[in-house]
Amino acid sequence: TRDYAQPIIAKTAASKPASTGNAKQTTIAEMENNWDSFAFNPIRESTVSRAMTRRYFADLDTHAESDIVIIGAGSCGLSTAFVLARARPDLKIAIIEAGVAPGGGAWLGGQLFSAMVMRKPADAFLREVGVEYEDEGDYVVVKHAALFTSTLLSKVLAFPNVKLFNATCVEDLITRPAEEGVRIAGVVTNWTLVSMHHDDQSCMDPNTINAPVIISTTGHDGPMGAFCVKRLVSMQRIEKLGGMRGLDMNVAEDAIVKGTREIVPGLIVGGMELSEVDGANRMGPTFGAMALSGVKAAEEALRIFDV
């Protein structure tokens, strides 16, 4: 038989569910010391493709109209998502992250060092998320920044009302005329790989998500960061950026938390992206402000929903 005939024959069988909810579940203990007779359940490659694509396109369909879009899955964006998703299971929340790996700059405490420092009272957020820490008086230390980020990420992803679209970049904002001049009404997204081909492919248009509230947490300026606030300048919605200032942990953290707000109607900015608008100091490797800016961004968003 010719090889290409194979999928047609196997399609019917493969489209049947390989296992039912009532199937006996093997335990690890049953596998141990029994490796000679070990075998995975059978699968066809197309089944794997369909299992992924069917869900992804359903997610794209569901979230084309979202309630809230969070741009950037760094420490601030994930903190925002955690608070919002827990407070309002009825809201559809899409997180758009340009990188493959969510977490932004929060996989290490700073430089190559593992521990993550948070100044009090941000320890309250760690207790909410369920991350252990050592209490050092005015500050607490999580033994590895990755423990904070992975725990927070796992909680966020487990909420049924949250969808993370990673490897997806926000490349523009959707706007609507409004009394205040303009309102932000959604985001324009594109696959990172597609956007890399803008120079040699002219016919690829981007995708969109409509949402009444956008929360931008894309970090400080760099190849990627501060995307929305830079776009607000080019859209002439704000005159210019203040530019992130030098490092001052004490001044910076308070300023970022207090300054987290709706910058133009429909667009809330939190985390280090805000330092670029306000000309606020950076704080370097202390993360309390990112968590609490997320709490405040969520509060600002809920205020818009409650109006």
> Is 109 among the residues that bind ligand AHZ (CB under 6 A)?
no
Give the residue with the Cβ less far from ligand AHZ, 285 or 302: 285
**205 has binding-site annotation:** yes
**170 has binding-site annotation:** yes
We find the least distance from the C-beta atom of residue 224 to ligand AHZ, in angstroms, to be: 4
> Is 96 among the residues that bind ligand AHZ (CB under 6 A)?
yes
Among 66, 68, 69, 72, binds ligand AHZ (CB under 6 A): 72
> Is 75 among the residues that bind ligand AHZ (CB under 6 A)?
yes
**Sequence-distant (≥ 6) Cβ neighbours of residue 242 within 8 angstroms:** 275, 276, 277, 278, 279, 280
Residue 183 corresponds to which amino acid?
R
Give the residue with the Cβ less far from ligand AHZ, 161 or 281: 281
Name the token pair of 44: 């066809």
Helices and strands counted in the chain (H then E): 11, 14
Residue with tokens 């049947």: 16
> Is 105 among the residues that bind ligand AHZ (CB under 6 A)?
yes
> Is 242 among the residues that bind ligand AHZ (CB under 6 A)?
no
Select the residue whose beta carbon is closest to ligand AHZ and give its number.
74
Alpha-helical (H) ranges within the chain are 6-15, 28-31, 45-63, 75-87, 123-129, 145-158, 192-195, 227-234, 249-259, 273-278, 288-306
Give the residue with the Cβ less far from ligand AHZ, 268 or 272: 272
> Is 257 among the residues that bind ligand AHZ (CB under 6 A)?
no
Q: Do residues 104 and 164 lie in contact, with contact meaning Cβ atoms separated by under 8 Å?
A: no
Angle between helices 145-158 and 75-87 (to 10 degrees): 40
The C-alpha atoms of residue 213 and residue 58 are separated, in whole angstroms, by 22
> Is 217 among the residues that bind ligand AHZ (CB under 6 A)?
yes
Stretch that binds ligand AHZ, among 53-61, 85-93, 178-186, 279-287 (CB under 6 A): 279-287
> Is 224 among the residues that bind ligand AHZ (CB under 6 A)?
yes
Residue 278 corresponds to which amino acid?
D
Which residues here bind ligand AHZ, judged by CB under 6 A? 71-77, 96-99, 104-106, 169-170, 217-219, 224-225, 227, 271-273, 282-284, 290
